[in-house]
Amino acid sequence: MRVKRVSLVLVALLVLLPVFLLAISGCNFIDEKLLPALPFRDEKPSSSALSSELPPEFDILIEAWRILSEDYIDKDELDPQKLSQGAVKGMIEALDDPYSSYADPEIHKLELTTFQGKFQGIGAVISMRDKQLTVVSPIAGTPAEKAGIKAGDKILEINGEPTAKMTLIEATFKIRGPKGTEVRLLILREGETEPVEVRIVRAEIEVESVIYEMREDIAYIKITHFLKPTGRELRDALEEAIAEGAKGVILDLRNNPGGLLNAAAEVASQFLAMGIVAKVVDDEGGRSVVPVKRGGIATHLPLVVLVNEGSASGSEIVAGALQDYGRATLAGSKTFGKGSVQLVRELSDGSAIHITAYRWFTPFDHPIDGVGLTPDFVLELEGEELVDWAIDYLKKQIGASASLARI
């Protein structure tokens, strides 16, 4: 069996997420008039413009600083930068939004290193679910997977420190660290009542975006994340598969936490002749659409999409569009349910805030956030068993189609 590994790439900052790759993952958008063109938006608002727009309730910040500077006993300990950063952090935490967070300059600098093509950590994707730090999926072949980390695991402590009051970013960078060092995670498994401690030695993680192989006359394509080159690499894989006589496609999105929305749109567009990939709603209720890009080369090949509870955000965008249009059969288990999008805005001191700015829906207006997608075939099969099921299903579909053609 010949296996072609199409690329080795790192997951950049995911706005969709942030589900955070231990590194970080992200999603940007197509319509630059309505949506961010890059995962990081570096324009900084004018301080003079902002000061004139502040509501009177913000006067207490100035009052608090004045009182501290006059009455605090250890005035030499008053650090204006530290205090202002604490105020911003508190402001974001007061939103009570698990996906909005504050990153101090040091953490934000670490975020930017995620774009270098590799990172050091345990190799898992985490998010917030019901205000608990939750594993979306381990990355295949990484220390996290080898240690038995599973999708749905709740992380209660990191090196003995409770995660209850940690932001997603803080937790991410407490788990990340130099390769060869150890991190201790207190994990509560789904269906269990007693947590267990898992010790994991960090390593250098490289993330494969697209993996392709032929299984007889069926093309099996696994997409691990949606990155900038993913659409092109998928097209290359499909062109090769078609040249080799592929009669059907299995698109495996299990444990794919998402990535760039542009890349997700390009993937969906290889299988859709027309229509839209998703609808996006902004903070004022304004709606825009992410259109299908014409020219897809696999718009008529029978298609099965595999999903599970680790399929999030960009994966749900692709699977939701293909399901809405009846273009693909979804099989597996219910998806994660990540349908909000975060912008990362840098502040003048080098820190940044991650803010939920958009929510997206499937082409037929089905909500995803907190809901997820229910497959056409809900199956308890995992690993290769589900792939084998998909191959058998496609062969029956292909056989039925061939019989009809002979009538």
Residue 172 lies in a domain: yes
Confidence (pLDDT) at 217: 95
Together in a domain, 211 and 199: no
Rounded average pLDDT over 306-330: 96
Together in a domain, 305 and 339: yes
CATH number of the structural domain spanning residue 186? 2.30.42.10
Does residue 121 register a pLDDT over 60? yes
Rounded average pLDDT over 183-195: 94
Structural domain count of the chain: 3
Is the pLDDT higher at 26 or at 52? Answer: 52
**150 tagged catalytic:** no
Together in a domain, 133 and 232: no
Together in a domain, 131 and 145: yes
**pLDDT tens, 148-165?**
999 899 999 999 999 998
Together in a domain, 303 and 256: yes
Together in a domain, 150 and 296: no
Does residue 309 register a pLDDT over 80? yes
Provide the percentage of residues in the chain whose pLDDT is more than 90. 57
Together in a domain, 198 and 212: no
Confidence (pLDDT) at 213: 96
Helix, strand or coil, per DSSP, at residue 124: strand
Is the pLDDT higher at 352 or at 24? Answer: 352
Helix, strand or coil, per DSSP, at residue 274: coil
* Domain residue limits at 132: 119-205
Does residue 2 register a pLDDT over 90? no
Together in a domain, 372 and 313: yes
Residue 25 lies in a domain: no
Confidence (pLDDT) at 259: 78
**7 tagged catalytic:** no
In which band, very low, low, confident or very high, does the pLDDT at 52 lie, cut at 50, 70 and 90? low
Rounded average pLDDT over 311-330: 96
Does residue 49 register a pLDDT over 80? no
Together in a domain, 262 and 341: yes
Measured in whole angstroms, the distance separating CA 233 from the mean position of its chain's CA atoms is 19
**pLDDT tens, 258-285?**
878 888 999 999 999 999 999 999 888 8
Does residue 22 register a pLDDT over 80? no
Residue 354 lies in a domain: yes
Catalytic residue among 89, 154, 222, 338: 338
Residue 27 lies in a domain: no
Catalytic residue among 154, 252, 324, 333: 324
The model's pTM is: 0.68
Q: Counting beta carbons within 10 angstroms of the beta carbon of residue 57, is it exposed (0 to 12), middle (13 to 18) or buried (19 or more)?
A: exposed
How far apart, in whole angstroms, are the C-alpha atoms of residue 357 and residue 342? Answer: 5
How far apart, in whole angstroms, are the C-alpha atoms of residue 314 and residue 7? Answer: 18
Confidence (pLDDT) at 323: 98
Does residue 15 register a pLDDT over 70? no
Distances (CA, A) of 92 to 86, 96, 199, 283: 10, 8, 32, 16
Together in a domain, 212 and 137: no
**324 tagged catalytic:** yes
Residue 13 lies in a domain: no
Does residue 13 register a pLDDT over 50? no
Rounded average pLDDT over 229-249: 95
**What single-letter amino acid sits at 341?**
V
In which band, very low, low, confident or very high, does the pLDDT at 247 lie, cut at 50, 70 and 90? very high
- 200-214, 235-249, 268-282: segment of lowest average pLDDT: 200-214
Confidence (pLDDT) at 45: 52
Confidence (pLDDT) at 169: 76
Confidence (pLDDT) at 159: 97
Catalytic residue among 101, 269, 313, 333: 313
Confidence (pLDDT) at 332: 98
Together in a domain, 74 and 130: no
Residue 196 lies in a domain: yes
Helix, strand or coil, per DSSP, at residue 399: helix
Does residue 348 register a pLDDT over 80? yes
